[in-house]
Structure 1
């Protein structure tokens, strides 16, 4: 069974506000992989969809898209923002997908796979994918580089790294030392002959310093700290905010900063004959 996290309404709303879906060029790579492998485009399923930020990216490329999440609150927020007529959302666990065998053209999981019972999920993916159907697993690294004009990027990035290191001790043991390892292990374990591993794909995003801090606060490590010691969590985020503003020489947390996110992802195609 997946490790259940991020189920509260407040955190679901924070995911919608501050989490980013994969960037367009990674989604385009997925679509190119689908086309290259001559996979179908009838039904795509996004597992661990959260509030649906990534799910909506699939809507214009597939006849029907289903977002699945174990959390009722995440599904509720996804439905509040749902506008695409070909998307539906359902609550279920990742390891028991509510689809018949060989029925899906695409299964995705965006920044959620590391929370699943990974071997069982991959077995389910194999069961539900059509021959020729594709799997897409993607996530980003918690350590982000920061850039600001006329400021030492190494110093800003070090402050960001120290924030990540401080909360790492609260990481769920199921996730492991580095979530990236779970995705690389999945890639290595998938026996499909057509598969790709992409590591350290850099994506630059401009956001306010406030939104950067809020993004970091959505991370599972930080949320575990909040549950264990909420006062320490508040002090940590405030201290990091002040250190970054001081280094940048600004007084407003609404100042924009460039964050460099590092994505990694898996693409795989179920063989036509299995």
Structure 2
């Protein structure tokens, strides 16, 4: 990876506990793959796999799934996860994948590609993909929303306070907009068969503490935590208290609907016809 983060063990453990798995996106990826080659696929590689929440979702569709990551701590958490027998993990940079040219059916990166050396990664993904193989990159915007009856707007005003407080700690490598990063990567991909999807709203029922915990896994929160642990804790406690007050509840385990806004793009490597 061009930027190394998520390597502390406690951060990796929180990542495994709180990050949501993109079930709906997997079905979109497999639908795109099945349009041209509807057979059972051999090998999927999930790059920047983290603790493996997305990696394991690929298992039903492939003979073998390999998650790769640069972080020892993340891969340790991935191995703690409940893994199907056809899922394994490998430590390597995103730009140096340990696969032969043309060996891979699917290369995917789930909420990770913005940390890569993006052009080198695209070249490497092209190298390992077989003709007709697919590349799938997905992520989501930071401005997740909460839904709870007629107080959703109030809750989201509080959420915006959380995001605004973390904005100064956003890593400059990803700039002000992750969407632009992925859009630029999409534009630079020369595969003619590709599609861009700006927003897919996915809803999850989570405890209020689950929402707080997820935001705390963001790199911007982790940067604040390193700089000023007391301020980071105060911020989380303040947002939690405000949300509980708005909901008129006494327990942070009270469930709420979390809306995650995904964006993603899919591309198919051309098949070169001969003869």
Counterpart for residue 90 of structure 2: 90
Q: CA deviation at 1:39?
A: 6.9
Q: CA deviation at 1:82?
A: 4.0
Aligned: 1:72 with 2:72 = yes
Aligned: 1:209 with 2:171 = no
Runs of 4+ in 1 over 6 A off after TM superposition: none
Q: Which runs of 5+ in 1 are unaligned?
A: none
Aligned: 1:113 with 2:110 = no
What TM-score comes out, normalization by structure 1 length?
Answer: 0.96
SS in 2 for 1:252: coil
Instruction: Report 1:4-15 matches (<5 A).
Output: 4-15=4-15
Instruction: Report 1:16-165 matches (<5 A).
Output: 16-23=16-23, 25-38=24-37, 41-149=41-149, 151-165=150-164
Instruction: Report 1:121-270 matches (<5 A).
Output: 121-149=121-149, 151-270=150-269
Q: CA deviation at 1:83?
A: 2.9
Whether contact under 8 Å (1:47, 1:68) holds in the other structure is yes
Q: Which runs of 5+ in 2 are unaligned?
A: none
1:236-270, CA deviations, whole angstroms, 9 ceiling, x for partnerless residues? 10110011111111111111111111000010001
SS in 1 for 2:201: strand
Q: CA deviation at 1:74?
A: 0.8
Q: CA deviation at 1:37?
A: 2.5
1:63-89, CA deviations, whole angstroms, 9 ceiling, x for partnerless residues? 001000000111111112243111110
Q: CA deviation at 1:105?
A: 0.4
Q: CA deviation at 1:152?
A: 2.1
